[in-house]
Amino acid sequence: MWHYRLTTILLIISIIHSIRAKRKLKEQEIIQRILKDYDWRVRPRGMNATWPDTGGPVLVTVNIYLRSISKIDDVNMEYSAQFTFREEWTDQRLAYERYEESGDTEVPPFVVLATSENADQSQQIWMPDTFFQNEKEARRHLIDKPNVLIRIHKNGQILYSVRLSLVLSCPMSLEFYPLDRQNCLIDLASYAYTTQDIKYEWKEKKPIQQKDGLRQSLPSFELQDVVTDYCTSLTNTGI
């Protein structure tokens, strides 16, 4: 009699879960993507949901870092100032956090947009058309490279920072000279847009920063105080 023994072979299958590393998008790839079909001539939508068409005015937050005040000229009634001028606003068209929604892609918190010495050639994104109303002469610093920073955050927030030297008009009252006290302005506004398009606001914390030693740098004057205010006005082109 033949005996058959049935041998059961158990196959143990081990399942190995492989963890795939996230793909990191490079700055060059991100910039190429967000600037494709981007029109810098059109201002971004505002963040106000009650304005269905345009989203309301673009909120531009302003901050100034005063580096020096010099050459207070009581004959020509002007003074010179050097400062870093910063603006922040949001342009949802440039937000790139959507690229990591799939879960397998990682993006940096911000990318830096390089600029050219020629301001006309460096215009790649929309920026506020800010100008200084009491400016007589102005220049941007270009040594060794243009002292300009454009930083695009992944949520679409833009930081624009530029180093400027300006000669500014300052009407003076000199009847108490040399014991006079003068109020000199740095007066900025949008050149073409109205308050329906752009709304300027001073940065909530430290809107004006001062370099150490600034108050002691003036030979004939003492810097007593620096304050901020608003100068919205009505012109023929709007408010």
* 132 domain residue, yes or no: yes
* Across 217-235, average pLDDT: 85
Which has more confidence, 95 or 8? 95
* 17 domain residue, yes or no: no
| CATH code, 36 | 2.70.170.10
- Tell the burial category of 67 from Cβ atoms under 10 Å away from its Cβ (0-12, 13-18, 19+): middle
Residues 6+ apart with CB under 8 A from 148: 115, 122, 140, 160, 161, 162, 163
Do 81 and 69 contact (CB within 8 A), yes or no?
Answer: yes
Quick one: pLDDT at residue 119?
Answer: 61
Tens-place pLDDT, residues 75-96: 899 999 999 999 999 999 999 9
**Residue range of the domain that includes 140:** 24-216
Quick one: pLDDT at residue 121?
Answer: 55
3-state secondary structure of 98: helix
Q: How far is CA 142 from CA 29, 107, 148, 171, 205, in A?
A: 27, 31, 9, 30, 29
* 4 domain residue, yes or no: no
Rounded Cα distance between 200 and 89, Å, is 10
Quick one: pLDDT at residue 25?
Answer: 86
Quick one: pLDDT at residue 41?
Answer: 93
* 64 domain residue, yes or no: yes
Tens-place pLDDT, residues 187-212: 999 999 999 999 999 999 999 999 98
* 189 domain residue, yes or no: yes
Cα 169 to chain centroid distance, Å, stands at 26
Question: How many domains are there within the chain?
Answer: 1
Do 69 and 79 contact (CB within 8 A), yes or no?
Answer: yes
Do 44 and 90 contact (CB within 8 A), yes or no?
Answer: yes
The angle formed by the CA atoms of residues 66, 153 and 210, to the nearest 5 degrees, is 10
Quick one: pLDDT at residue 235?
Answer: 84
**Residue 9, phi then psi, degrees to nearest 5:** -105, 120
* 93 domain residue, yes or no: yes
Q: Token pair 């600034």 is at which residue?
A: 214
Quick one: pLDDT at residue 190?
Answer: 94
Residues 6+ apart with CB under 8 A from 141: 147, 163, 164, 165
- Residue-averaged pLDDT of the chain: 86
* 97 domain residue, yes or no: yes
Q: What percent of the chain has pLDDT over 90?
A: 57
Do 172 and 77 contact (CB within 8 A), yes or no?
Answer: yes
Quick one: pLDDT at residue 44?
Answer: 96
Rounded Cα distance between 150 and 52, Å, is 29
Rounded Cα distance between 170 and 155, Å, is 40
Does the pLDDT at position 6 exceed 70? no
pTM comes to 0.84
* 41 domain residue, yes or no: yes
**Residue 66, phi then psi, degrees to nearest 5:** -75, 120
**Residue 94, phi then psi, degrees to nearest 5:** -100, 0
Quick one: pLDDT at residue 39?
Answer: 94
